Amino acid sequence: MLANKKILLCVTGGIAVYKAVALVSKLSQAGADVKVVMTESAREFVQPLSFQVMSHNDVYTDTFDEKDSAVIAHIDLADWADLIIVAPATANVIGKLANGIADDMVTTLLLAATSPVWIAPAMNVHMYEHPAVLRNIDRLSRDGYRFIEPSEGFLACGYVGKGRLEEPERITELVGRFFGQHDDRPLLGKKVIVTAGPTLERIDPVRYISNFSSGKMGYAMAEAAAALGADVVLISGPVAIDPPAGVHIEHVESAAQMLDAVLAHYGSADYVVKSAAVADYRPKAAHPHKMKKKEGDSVLELERTTDILKTLGEQKTHQCLIGFAAETNDAVAYGKGKLQSKNLDWIVVNDVTDPGGGFGSDSNVVTLIGKDGTERTFPAMEKKRLAGELLALIAAKGSDAQ
């Protein structure tokens, strides 16, 4: 499936280097022409000869070791590749690349590369969750690099957590999809509705009831859905964010307006991501003029708004319904209750008191719960990256079910 495809594997120093040898084997068996570049640290774990045997190509280790005097090796390799994979990628090489540092063969050719670059991190779970590493990953993601997320499990350091290099079979599968065996946009041709931001319930022309939602997570979900191939309708409450490119946006103010907008598209939707923080109550009567200040206390009578998520659950036919639950305590327990009571397929739960996420933050910490029993907690990460991971997992599960 990879016949005539040229793949350059950059191997950096970590115990997961042994998996890189297996990756070369898998890619070669699939028909790819694989060349390997190793850092000095990588050679402490595995000798270049192992990669040479598996790839049937020379292995490159030194910027100044020019095997062909007619070309400059790191430029020639960068131009040669159809795809470059950094696996395993250490925190060190991720940091160097994010900051434009080129001090060895691997980092030099990566800065010269014009073909797609995929990065497969592998490190201790605490290193992977360190703010500096997360910032570097976020910067590279925004620069167009694609990340192959590490899996969870027992790590060489003795910890159990996220940090294991993705399995060679899975990476080979992703490469096959990239080169056209399957479309790598699992939501291609699907219509996705995303609600985002707060709603605003007017008391009078100058006062209202609302909440602290910034809309950042919802906008990130809309952007991620579009990147995965979907036709996206973003229904947004009042926020101070520029809409993502490639989505159709509808602006609303109140819970009632948001319900009407969602229902107008609901019948033709494949996925609905209800991430808006909709007001549970509104003033029973909105005053047409500004309420004048009076002596003493005042009582504002409230009435319930329509529960949008519950309404969608009751009317669901074929749609995949994804809810969000912002909680301040017992978040997972409350999330599971809402998953059942509102007939959802998935619910994304976050504790807004967690310092790693919450309203207005650029990062989030969530647990994804599915009606199929899936329960996965995502560590603190930038919301755009998190949105992509959430939707990719949900889309994959949907494909498995079909």
34 forms bridges with which residues in the sheet?
A: 7
Nearest in space to 187 (alpha carbons), one of 346, 318, 320, 377:
320
Fill in the amino acid letter for 371.
K
Q: Is the separation of the CB atoms in 298 and 249 below 8 Å? A: no
**Owner of token pair 């650029």:** 362
Question: Two tokens at 304?
Answer: 């319930």
Beta strands in 59-213 (DSSP E): 59-60, 83-89, 117-121, 146-147, 151-154, 160-164, 191-196, 201-204, 207-209
Q: Is the separation of the CB atoms in 91 and 133 below 8 Å? A: yes
Active site residues: 157
Question: Two tokens at 42?
Answer: 């990588």
Separation of alpha carbons 202 and 209, rounded Å = 6
Separation of alpha carbons 194 and 221, rounded Å = 7
